[in-house]
Amino acid sequence: MLPRGRPRALGAAALLLVLILIGFFLFGGDLECERREQGGPGSFRCSLTPRVPPDGDLPADHGGCNRSDCVPLRPLPPKCELLHVAMVCAGHNTSRDVITLVKSMLFFRKNPLHLHLVTDAVARNILETLFHTWMVPAVRVSFYDAEELKPQVSWIPNKHYSGLYGLMKLVLPGALPPALARVIVLDTDVTFASDIAELWALFAYFSDEQVIGLVENQSDWYLGNLWRNHRPWPALGRGFNTGVILLRLDRLRQAGWEQMWKLTATQELLTLPATSLADQVWGSLLGGGGQAQGQGEMAVSAQDIFNAIIKRHPGLVLPLPCIWNVQLSDHTLAERCYSEAADLKVIHWNSPKKLRVKNKHVEFFRNLHLTFLEYNGNLLRRELFGCPSPPPPEAEQLQRALAHLSEEDTCLEFRQQQLTVHRVHITFLPHEPPPPRPHDVTLVAQLSMDRLQMLEALCRHWPGPMSLALYLTDAEAQQFLHFVEASAVLSARQDVAYHVVYREGSLYPINQLRNVAMAQALTPYVFLSDIDLLPSYSLYDYLRASIEQLELGSGRKAALVVPAFETLHYHFSFPNSKAELLALLDAGSLYTFRSHEWPQGYAPTDYARWREAQAPYRVQWAADYEPYVVVPRDCPRYDPRFVGFGWNKVAHIVELDAQEYELLVLPEAFTIHLPHTPSPDISRFRSRPTYRDCLQILKDEFHQDLSRHYGAAALKYLTALQQPEAPQG
């Protein structure tokens, strides 16, 4: 007979054993909460990724092993240590994702960064221009040609929504510089909520065997129980997600990584059957494993191959805290890995639905993402405190030029705006270049947010290619994106290239905008217009025919003048022919452009002669002439010193004349200016004498430069330019 207290003790022990077993079942993963920090690499204070029970949520008192206080307490890397980050990027849309990701990284970072970008030609053109003009201190960018890497992965069947480029993570150890030992690899659809140095610090926990750091997959994809006959690629338990990867490149190379992944992929492809239509549907809906297959074809992602390798070699992987890759795929189980949304470090939008995915905290995540999407990237140009790094050469030259400016200069505002280097995001939206044609013409124009409503009408009038520079803030760029997506007219046009120049400074950099749009035109000729002018419906075809008939391609230097008119009515019947236009002109519904405010700007076109003309005729340059012209793409650029309002087109026509371009007026061409509210710069020009005085100073400086460049041939401009008092164009 047992003592009276013994049964109670046994019962308590049994209950404790049951609780321990339940706790082990709930929290037993690759690393348990009982595993305490021993001071050496590979040991943590508490679990990294608690095991998710097959049914039901984790209890509220599960020990706190999923919060930020479970991240190993490891010192951050030295403040000036260079951190390396690799991404694979292709196309227009993914390039925009990269920029948002980079903004989130730059916001929190305290270390220099070296970005290694594997890109196609489109993404490289976009990102190279952006980083060159962004001039962020302590950020280096290297590009790697995806076309050269494609043969290494093109043999793998792939229908994932990221395409063949998603497989290129596999070849990074061979593609990146041999001396590079460690790198963080990121999907472009992640957003940082913490300093990336904290993630880099986890490299210190790699054991001698471990080469890959990954977060556990947060969906049931690799468990293979989503539907009957579901056969995912092999994985260790729930598998791992490759949206955030820590790679020990040196160890991977030593271990023969290329042979390892190719052998694994080949062997698994031989044993796995072709996927079914059900795979296609579930793969795209769940997004956890990233599959989006086609019927009767095996679809493979880099994540599948990583997991198959880890299944065979579990010792290669270091499981990372789930807060470093919170996966917002459809049917995600990510909510079970954290207590507070604010604890999270990296948010991963790994579903084709992206921000439309369903999650308990999705509003918090979405707002964080949108914050960086619309964040003013100019603010990220700040120097790293206490971490000296040489600025880019262009930035150093700019700093010297700004240092020479005098605070006493009444034109300081103009000088500063002229020297400003704006961030430029070319081809902001998907764009299909026009097929090469010898006489093709691109309409070039610039605009700001208050002129967006004119885009649809312009697209209806001009069926040819366009290159448009938009002066926007980061937030306005997103509004513009939604504006185009909501417009059936604009979204249907793939031959319109939109280039965002991010706003900085108080004056409108009109000629810089024009130069950006001109530089991105892909046809032999450009029609230099403005956004508030509508060309005649037939102008595009007429210009191409005129270029051919005048044999401009044979080396003849000519600027084809398109006569401009204006209406004071917001709604009027647009003329379909020259005859209809002349009738409206005679009826007083139309006027020759700016005939009341600035007649010298367009009078040399000789509108009286144009009424009767049957063939192109030549006109002579005159002071302040500023017609809208069609010129070769390689013509002189606009002078960027002219900002705000006044003399911006005039200076360009002077330059064309100095280079001996003929001015030929086309008899059947016309464009009509629509009324709109005055721009802020026009109002400042009219109301501030100092504004007009500064413009005169800029004109004088322009002529001095012209004289130095063209010598005695520029004397005629000196005489002519001294006469007007109120330049307008």
When pLDDT is cut at 50, 70 and 90, the band that residue 280 belongs to is very low
Model pLDDT, residue 59 = 33
In this prediction, residues 466-475 reach a mean pLDDT of 98
DSSP 375-434: S-GGGGGPPPTT---PPPHHHHHHHHHHHT--TT-TTHHHHHHHH----EESS-S---PP
Give the Cα separation of 70 and 134 in Å (integer).
Answer: 37
Q: What is the pLDDT of residues 228-258, one digit of tens each?
A: 666 788 899 889 999 999 999 999 999 999 9
- Residue of higher predicted confidence among 15 and 564: 564
Write out the H or E segment, with its range, that includes residue 317. Answer: strand 317-319
Q: Beta 525-528 vs 628-632: how paired, if at all?
A: antiparallel
Q: Is the pLDDT of residue 556 over 90?
A: no
When pLDDT is cut at 50, 70 and 90, the band that residue 117 belongs to is very high
Write out the H or E segment, with its range, that includes residue 365. Answer: helix 362-373
Q: What is the largest CA-CA distance in the chain?
A: 127
In this prediction, residues 650-676 reach a mean pLDDT of 94
- Residue of higher predicted confidence among 520 and 677: 520
Model pLDDT, residue 30 = 37
Model pLDDT, residue 273 = 56
Alpha carbon 415 to its chain's center? 29
SS3 270: helix
Model pLDDT, residue 221 = 79
510-519 and 648-658 helices cross at what angle (nearest 10)? 50
The mean of the pLDDT values for the chain is 83
Return the structure tokens found at 174.
């061979």
Model pLDDT, residue 506 = 87
Task: Read off the pTM.
Answer: 0.85
Q: Please state, in angstroms and as integers, the Cα–Cα distance from residue 493 to each residue in 46, 429, 522, 538, following that order.
A: 54, 11, 16, 18
When pLDDT is cut at 50, 70 and 90, the band that residue 73 belongs to is low
Model pLDDT, residue 124 = 98
Model pLDDT, residue 462 = 98
- Residue of higher predicted confidence among 230 and 148: 148
Dihedral pair phi/psi, residue 631, rounded to 5°:
-140, 165
Model pLDDT, residue 295 = 34
Share of the chain above pLDDT 70, in %: 81
Model pLDDT, residue 74 = 62
Dihedral pair phi/psi, residue 404, rounded to 5°:
-85, -10
The residue among 29, 61, 76 whose CA lies nearest residue 48 is: 29
In this prediction, residues 270-282 reach a mean pLDDT of 47
Q: Please state, in angstroms and as integers, the Cα–Cα distance from residue 401 to each residue in 63, 92, 394, 418, 482, following that order.
A: 59, 34, 11, 11, 38
When pLDDT is cut at 50, 70 and 90, the band that residue 287 belongs to is very low
Model pLDDT, residue 351 = 66
Among 2-11, 380-389, 479-488, 594-603, the range of highest mean pLDDT:
479-488
Poorest-pLDDT segment among 20-34, 142-156, 428-442, 673-687: 20-34
Q: Is the pLDDT of residue 410 over 90?
A: no
Model pLDDT, residue 307 = 95
The residue among 426, 428, 411 whose CA lies nearest residue 506 is: 411
Q: Give the Cβ contact number of residue 585 at 10 Å.
A: 17
Provide the residue count of the chain: 729
Q: What is the pLDDT of residues 167-181, one digit of tens each?
A: 999 999 999 999 999
Q: Is the pLDDT of residue 606 over 70?
A: yes
Give the Cα separation of 265 and 430 in Å (integer).
Answer: 33
Model pLDDT, residue 358 = 66
- Return the half-sphere exposure (C-beta side, CA atoms, 13 A cut-off) of residue 68: 11
Dihedral pair phi/psi, residue 79, rounded to 5°:
-60, -35
Model pLDDT, residue 722 = 60
Q: Please state, in angstroms and as integers, the Cα–Cα distance from residue 216 to each residue in 31, 170, 213, 428, 489, following that order.
A: 12, 18, 10, 34, 44
When pLDDT is cut at 50, 70 and 90, the band that residue 332 belongs to is confident
Q: Which domains does the chain have, with CATH numbers?
A: 83-273+298-375 (3.90.550.10), 424-721 (3.90.550.10)
Q: Is the pLDDT of residue 44 over 50?
A: no
Model pLDDT, residue 729 = 52
Cβ neighbors of 263 (< 8 A, separation 6 or more) are none
Model pLDDT, residue 99 = 97
Q: Is the pLDDT of residue 45 over 60?
A: no
Return the structure tokens found at 453.
């409503």
HEC sequence for 688-699: CHHHHHHHHHHH
Q: Is the pLDDT of residue 112 over 60?
A: yes
Give the Cα separation of 306 and 683 in Å (integer).
Answer: 62
Poorest-pLDDT segment among 181-190, 295-304, 410-419, 618-627: 295-304
- Residue of higher predicted confidence among 141 and 329: 141
- Contact between 161 and 173 under an 8 Å Cβ cutoff? The reply is no
**AA identity, residue 317:** V
Q: Is the pLDDT of residue 455 over 70?
A: yes
HEC sequence for 258-314: HHHHHHHHHHHHHHCCCCCHHHHHHHHHHCCCCCCCCCCCCCCCHHHHHHHHHHHCH
Give the Cα separation of 123 and 271 in Å (integer).
Answer: 36
- Residue of higher predicted confidence among 214 and 434: 214
The residue among 92, 140, 90, 346 whose CA lies nearest residue 243 is: 346
SS3 560: strand
Poorest-pLDDT segment among 10-14, 336-340, 686-690: 10-14
**If 0-12 CB within 10 Å is exposed, 13-18 middle and 19+ buried, where does residue 505 land?**
middle
First to last CA, the chain: 110
Q: Beta 671-673 vs 564-566: how paired, if at all?
A: parallel
**If 0-12 CB within 10 Å is exposed, 13-18 middle and 19+ buried, where does residue 3 land?**
exposed
